[in-house]
Chains A and B, each alone.
Chain A
Amino acid sequence: MYITLIFLGIIMATVIVWLLRQTFNTQPWISEAADNEVSGASMDTNTKAVALTVFLAVATSVFALFISAYTIRMEEPDWRPITEPTLLWANTLMLILASIAYHWTRGAAVKGIDSRVKPGLTVAGVLTVLFLIGQLVAWQQLNAAGYYLDLNPANAFFFLLTAVHGLHMLGGLWVWARSTMKVWTGADSDSVRLSIELCTVYWHFLLLVWIVLFGMLLST
């Protein structure tokens, strides 16, 4: 559980330090505090961006717990390490490129260059779909090689972790599909800018998670 504790320790420490900074040295019982300067929002950013940050903390918690479970379970004597399909390297490349494409699209959307948004979004989505198809093919290769899900906990974890990551990716694709539909039906980049900005963060996050998971799977 150390890994979870480290992750959650960082998240909780951030929350606590932030809250203490907000609340320290205040005198709430004094009513003259300058109410004209006191806005109700804590952060000068979009509400959806705050919600995404909170959601990423939740997702981090999920993955950290899976990783903790993995490291605890692999200590048992019945653990037989898996040989990961080489295809995973290609999949990783797809995801990196998808992330880069999203980042590039974000730049275009922020600058209002409509002509780059449509191809950027399309490429990012196609690369992500390719990544997911690649993951499914990797599953089939493992099955064909006799690494069945129920044969060994290492196999089971491989399928479980890739499935959970893939489901998160599918959730992202749902949002991607909505903004892509909008762009293809003639909406300007301004109307999808926020969605693209938030999706970029989400894609980078899932890329980071995948690199951590892939590294862990490879090294154990």
Chain B
Amino acid sequence: MAYVSIADRDHEVEHHDPDTFISKYVWSQDHKVIAIQYGVLAILIGLVGMLLSSAFRLQLGFPDMFEFINPENYYQFVTIHGMIMVIYLLTALFLGGFGNYLIPLQLGSRDMVFPFMNMLSVWVYALSVLILVASFFVPGGATGAGWTLYPPHAISPGTPGTDWGIVLMLLSLAVFIVAFTMGGLNYVTTVLQARCKGMTLMRMPLSVWGIFMATILGLLAFPALLVSAIMMLFDKLLGTSFFMPAMIQAGVATDTVGGSPVLFQHLFWFFGHPEVYIVALPAFGLVSDLLSTHARKNIFGYRMMVWAIIAIGGLSFIVWAHHMYVSGMNPYFGFFFATTTLIIAVPTALKVYNWVLTLWQGNIHLRVPMLFAIAFIFTFTHGGLTGLFLGNVTIDLPLSDTYFVVAHFHMVMGVSPVLVVFGAIYHWYPKMTGRMYNETLGKWHFWLTFLGTYSLYLPMHYLGFLGVPRRYFAMGNTEFMPDSAVTLNASMTISALIIAATQLIFIYNMIWSLKHGEKSGGNPWKSTSLEWQTPDTPPKHGNWGHSLPEVHRWAYDYSVPGQAEDFTPQTVPESEVPVGRDHGVDS
């Protein structure tokens, strides 16, 4: 059996070349296989999350028309939908999926530094998904406490799933965090220690920067979720009262006294807000690479983009209480958190300007990945602007319990990252499979998804302004809700169903193209970064053949004046760059 060292200069860590079906595709230690395992699993569970949302949207659009939706499972669907989308889909897909695929390839290493732990990570993640799904089938069903799982109602009788559902939910989260930590240690250490020769930190593509910083955030923030999950499990199973206050249930006082539900909220949001950036920073990074490649222009303000990622990472730890304005707090705290929230908009806005300026006078190719990337700029700007509203205490208070908040975070944290996910999958599909996707199907997928999400979420903002409350199973007859609001809700449901159905086009395209797609070649986008320069496509085990690549430049040498091609790969030394023409693009 052949031994392959992880990196040529690093002989400490070695692993076996896979030679059986099991070691190649199931218990694989190859980062590319693990990435695809993570990705497929995340997308599968994401589809479950999408079906759940379709189900509860049916109730919201057409109240009481569908008998299979009752108040109990409505809340269960809403809760598990949120949990799946935020954690089991987006976090897993960006870090476990793209992180695993891109970090070693874009940095010129053979694999992650701890391949065995990497393999454990994906299977422990699979276990967490299994526990989550199992919670639907235990007595009492899954938890219906809302994805934030606030106590006391999360573990008090009356809420769906307080028997076993909440226990499995918390257990699943704890297991997920273990999986993430094993993956995260790998990502950070690989970025720090296993880059190829010449790959300085400031020559790393922004994708890696985004994933790197998001992983650091995750490693420091997920413990808050772990701590709150453990303490809530104690409250539920062992009768402690960390979070459970004195209560009277059905006229009888409970055993619990003095617990602090607000303590849980602090812990939860201490994780919850960085979590937004755990999802957003990889999206920022990936979209930067997509825009630059398909506009044939270097990313505008690379250094500023890197520092913005670092600044957002740091600031994201001191804004959490803006999720808790309605819980009540010292006005000075409110002022502090409103200020930090508005400050974090500065580096974020810088990034938006830089994306737009990257497009400025670029040679824009409107291929499917680029369509998704540009759409992201729109949806993210819209979601970000409504965030400025909600960051202010006085505006947040009346809007907090309305559809406005739902619309805001779906635009900024749902639609925007998902658009990047699609763009990135289309972009790297040729590298992962060696085949092109179907461009026409891709464009149908894009336009239906993009316009569909707008027709779903724009009216939702309006309903929020009207005061339509979120979390309600049925609105009943309320005076402030005009008939038009009811009609809008129905139209939003139809949009949601269309978007859901549209995703079948995407899945069909991905599967069909595996066999029938055109052969893509190694570098169909004429891209500069290292993953496109591998000797084989899809890259084989060990990625680089006999010797590791050497890097001579950053990843954004597109349309450099005076060079014959409009791109210069990172592996090309200055002396070997063919000279030629001006590309008519301002670099």
On whether the beta carbons of A65 and B193 are closer than 8 Å, the reply is no
Q: B332 CB to closest chain A CB, in angstroms?
A: 14
Q: In the complex, what distance in Å separates the CA atom of A219 from the CA atom of B317?
A: 29
B553 interface residue per 8 A CB criterion: yes
Q: B550 CB to closest chain A CB, in angstroms?
A: 6
B234 interface residue per 8 A CB criterion: yes
- Taking A40-B197, A61-B220 as contacts, is the C-beta distance between A47 and B12 under 8 angstroms? yes
On whether the beta carbons of A50 and B192 are closer than 8 Å, the reply is yes
Interface segment, A71-79, A112-120, A179-187, A208-216? Answer: A71-79
Q: Which residues of chain B from 214 to 234 have a CB within 8 Å of any chain A CB?
A: 216, 219-221, 223-224, 226-227, 230-231, 234
Which of A41, A57, A62, A153 contacts B227, CB < 8 Å?
Answer: A62
On whether the beta carbons of B113 and A41 are closer than 8 Å, the reply is no
Q: In the complex, what distance in Å separates the CA atom of A141 from the CA atom of B546?
A: 63
A46 interface residue per 8 A CB criterion: yes
Task: List residues of chain A with CB within 8 A of the CB of B574.
Answer: 31-32
Q: A209 CB to closest chain B CB, in angstroms?
A: 14
Task: List residues of chain B with CB within 8 A of the CB of A1.
Answer: 266, 270
B458 interface residue per 8 A CB criterion: no
Q: In the complex, what distance in Å separates the CA atom of A12 from the CA atom of B277?
A: 15
On whether the beta carbons of A11 and B220 are closer than 8 Å, the reply is yes
The 8 A CB mask of A1-40 against B (1 = contact, 0 = none) is: 1001100100110011001101100101101110100111
- Taking A5-B318, A69-B227 as contacts, is the C-beta distance between A55 and B310 under 8 angstroms? no
Q: In the complex, what distance in Å separates the CA atom of A149 from the CA atom of B108?
A: 52
- Taking A22-B201, A31-B574, A40-B194 as contacts, is the C-beta distance between A76 and B260 under 8 angstroms? yes
A178 interface residue per 8 A CB criterion: no
A111 interface residue per 8 A CB criterion: no
The 8 A CB mask of B542-584 against A (1 = contact, 0 = none) is: 0000000011111011000000000000000110000000000
On whether the beta carbons of A33 and B200 are closer than 8 Å, the reply is yes
Q: In the complex, what distance in Å separates the CA atom of A127 from the CA atom of B188?
A: 34
On whether the beta carbons of A79 and B306 are closer than 8 Å, the reply is no
Q: B123 CB to closest chain A CB, in angstroms?
A: 19
B136 interface residue per 8 A CB criterion: no
- Taking A12-B317, A29-B302 as contacts, is the C-beta distance between A77 and B258 under 8 angstroms? yes
Task: List residues of chain A with CB within 8 A of the CB of B113.
Answer: 47, 51
A48 interface residue per 8 A CB criterion: yes
Which of A28, A43, A153 contacts B242, CB < 8 Å?
Answer: A153
Q: A56 CB to closest chain B CB, in angstroms?
A: 11
A160 interface residue per 8 A CB criterion: yes
Q: In the complex, what distance in Å separates the CA atom of A37 from the CA atom of B10?
A: 17
B202 interface residue per 8 A CB criterion: yes
B198 interface residue per 8 A CB criterion: yes
Task: List residues of chain B with CB within 8 A of the CB of A15.
Answer: 216
Closest to B187 in A: A54
Q: A71 CB to closest chain B CB, in angstroms?
A: 10
Q: A58 CB to closest chain B CB, in angstroms?
A: 5
Task: List residues of chain A with CB within 8 A of the CB of B573.
Answer: 31, 35
Closest to B311 in A: A16
Closest to B266 in A: A1
Q: In the complex, what distance in Å separates the CA atom of A43 from the CA atom of B189?
A: 10
Q: In the complex, what distance in Å separates the CA atom of A35 from the CA atom of B313?
A: 30
On whether the beta carbons of A31 and B557 are closer than 8 Å, the reply is yes
Q: A152 CB to closest chain B CB, in angstroms?
A: 9
B13 interface residue per 8 A CB criterion: yes
On whether the beta carbons of A153 and B198 are closer than 8 Å, the reply is no
Q: B356 CB to closest chain A CB, in angstroms?
A: 20
Interface size class on chain B is 35 or more
A86 interface residue per 8 A CB criterion: no
Task: List residues of chain A with CB within 8 A of the CB of B511.
Answer: none
Q: A213 CB to closest chain B CB, in angstroms?
A: 14
Task: List residues of chain A with CB within 8 A of the CB of B231.
Answer: 69, 160
Q: Which residues of chain A from 128 to 180 have a CB within 8 Å of any chain B CB?
A: 149-150, 153, 156, 160, 164
On whether the beta carbons of A48 and B310 are closer than 8 Å, the reply is no
Task: List residues of chain A with CB within 8 A of the CB of B220.
Answer: 8, 11-12, 57-58, 61
On whether the beta carbons of B219 and A54 are closer than 8 Å, the reply is yes
Q: B563 CB to closest chain A CB, in angstroms?
A: 11
Q: In the complex, what distance in Å separates the CA atom of A51 from the CA atom of B270?
A: 24
Closest to A4 in B: B270
Closest to A48 in B: B12
Q: A81 CB to closest chain B CB, in angstroms?
A: 14
Q: Which residues of chain B from 265 to 306 have a CB within 8 Å of any chain A CB?
A: 266-267, 270, 298, 302-303, 306
Which of A4, A28, A150, A156 contacts B202, CB < 8 Å?
Answer: A28
Q: Which residues of chain B from 238 to 282 have a CB within 8 Å of any chain A CB?
A: 238-242, 255, 257-260, 263, 266-267, 270
Task: List residues of chain B with CB within 8 A of the CB of A8.
Answer: 220, 317
Task: List residues of chain B with CB within 8 A of the CB of A5.
Answer: 317-318
Q: In the complex, what distance in Å separates the CA atom of A51 from the CA atom of B219?
A: 12
Which of B10, B203, B230, B255 contacts A47, CB < 8 Å?
Answer: B10
Closest to B107 in A: A40
B472 interface residue per 8 A CB criterion: no
On whether the beta carbons of B266 and A19 are closer than 8 Å, the reply is no
On whether the beta carbons of A58 and B260 are closer than 8 Å, the reply is no
Closest to B570 in A: A31
Closest to A45 in B: B193
Which of A35, A46, A54, A66 contacts B550, CB < 8 Å?
Answer: A35
Closest to B548 in A: A40
Q: List 12 A-B contacts (CB under 8 A).
A: A22-B200, A31-B574, A35-B198, A47-B113, A47-B194, A51-B185, A58-B184, A149-B238, A149-B240, A150-B255, A153-B258, A160-B230
Q: A4-B270, A54-B188, A72-B263 are in contact. List 18 more A-B contacts (CB 8 A).
A: A12-B313, A22-B200, A29-B298, A29-B302, A31-B553, A35-B550, A41-B9, A43-B192, A43-B193, A47-B10, A47-B194, A51-B113, A51-B186, A57-B220, A58-B220, A73-B263, A150-B239, A153-B240
* The 6 residue pairs across chains A and B that have the minimum distance between CB atoms: A78-B258, A40-B195, A150-B239, A31-B553, A35-B198, A156-B240
